[in-house]
Structure 1
């Protein structure tokens, strides 16, 4: 894990019910250990969202900000956890896609893991970009114009993608490095 100090940095984590438990909680923990503040953003007015862990519902996570109130200007980077249900629901939320686009337009790091890159397709961020994801998304990403790679982490400018929970350390290190470069 990179040893950069991210004190004063705030990272948004956009998710909804069905996020892959470790893909939200572990990057959140690593970012906080590096000094960053993390803020969980979710659609609707729920006080918490529930994760998915292996083949069962996981633990709830507190929602800090409702999606309708979230502005990219308030954050330094965006994390998009996977899980099949989570990104599939988020890609149908116009406000979620608009927020993802705003982070990209501002040149801020956008980090998506596992099935998280599905939302990047809907935000129009993958054409002619190098990415990775859970293997079942490969054709979706390629059909959207992405150059898919089977690597634990792929960084193309401020776009960071990873394949699966095993890649979380490399994924988070790449995000911390990207945040450190924008100090």
Structure 2
């Protein structure tokens, strides 16, 4: 069974964590939520605090080699706080370098800019961070979901079905390639 790491902290956009997580689990993939702190992290639901989710592991307890893909939910606070976590950035770089699927939605691509992995890549995001992504060397487009190699990006909660479908397809392609080897 493929394992998918989801990195988040307090202030993640509720639907952008639970939507992809639930779709991945329904497709038969194991998901693991990692955060800088143990216990629970609190989501953001539109304009106020949402539900909490349990943290399975701290960032220091996870390694790139134990997972097949990485998901980075948005929300404005979540990626902005994670940008200050060296271990989060190190993990993101590791997934990109290992050519494993890295999926980021809404404000989540901020973390890709912080990890310096966007030069020459095509991505999408929430409108307010597009200049940051361009400044990091990305070609930014306004599309529901963009797949550029191992990077998968989407703009907003309404894009979650297409975003989740793209993640699942990337994992299934990876499983097919592994089976052929």
TM-score (norm 1): 0.95
What residue in structure 2 maps to residue 57 of structure 1?
49
Taking only aligned residues, the RMSD between alpha carbons, in angstroms, comes to: 0.5
Pairing of 1:67-106 with structure 2 (within 5 A):
67-106=59-98
Larger helix fraction of residues:
2
Distance 2:114 2:65 in 1: 21
Distance 2:138 2:132 in 1: 9
Q: Which runs of 5+ in 2 are unaligned?
A: 176-181
3-state SS in 1 of match to 2:5:
strand
Give the superposition deviation at 1:138.
0.8
Distance 1:91 1:126 in 2: 15
Give the superposition deviation at 1:125.
1.1
Distance 1:166 1:14 in 2: 21
Give the superposition deviation at 1:105.
1.1
What residue in structure 2 maps to residue 17 of structure 1?
10
Offset from partner CA, 1:18-74 (integer Å, 9 cap, x none):
000000001000000000000000002x31100000111000000001111110111
Deviation >2 Å, runs of 4+: none
Pairing of 1:18-33 with structure 2 (within 5 A):
18-33=11-26
Distance 1:172 1:157 in 2: 16
TM-score (norm 2): 0.96
Give the superposition deviation at 1:137.
0.8
Offset from partner CA, 1:109-132 (integer Å, 9 cap, x none):
000000000000011111110000
